[in-house]
Amino acid sequence: MDPFLQAAIDEARAGLAEGGIPIGSVIVYQGRIIGRGHNRRVQQGSAILHGEMDAFENAGRQPASVYRAATLYTTLSPCAMCSGAILLYGIPKVIVGENHTFMGEEDLLRSRGVAVDVLQDATCIALMRDFIAAQPALWNEDIGV
């Protein structure tokens, strides 16, 4: 398995272990992780800390040139908010663990020139399917339903 997708999965599992939603993300620049995060909306009482947003936050301030040469890995297809951040910072490539359980704004990203590769990883799918079955109300809250 790709070690960066594995790192995102590890983040998702960490979020689940904390009582949160199992979505993780890492930002990779020049072969190393510069930001990692997981959905912490529940843990932090946050409206915006999805996995990708947490990874951006933990990457800290970076020159635009870094983001324009980075790849973002996420266990789940990015929502509108996270896709907006990807576009804002010029991330050119996104690797998505799966989009069976939730289809985010992949078409928007592609329409703006972002390369989006969806892996349909069985571990990512199982994490979300199990979570959605166990916590449907929390999942609906996370995606604004």
Q: Which of 11, 52, 98, 105 is catalytic?
A: 52
57 given a catalytic annotation: no
The residues near 138 (Cβ < 8 Å, ≥ 6 apart) are 21, 42
Rounded to 5 degrees, what angle do the CA atoms 20, 25, 28 make? Answer: 160
Task: Identify the residue whose tokens are 């990883």.
Answer: 121
Task: Please provide residue 81's backbone torsions phi and psi, each rounded to the nearest 5 degrees.
Answer: -65, -50
Helix (H, G, I), strand (E, B) or coil at 35: strand
Q: Record the tokens describing residue 39, joined without a space.
A: 């959905």
Residues annotated catalytic, as ranges:
52
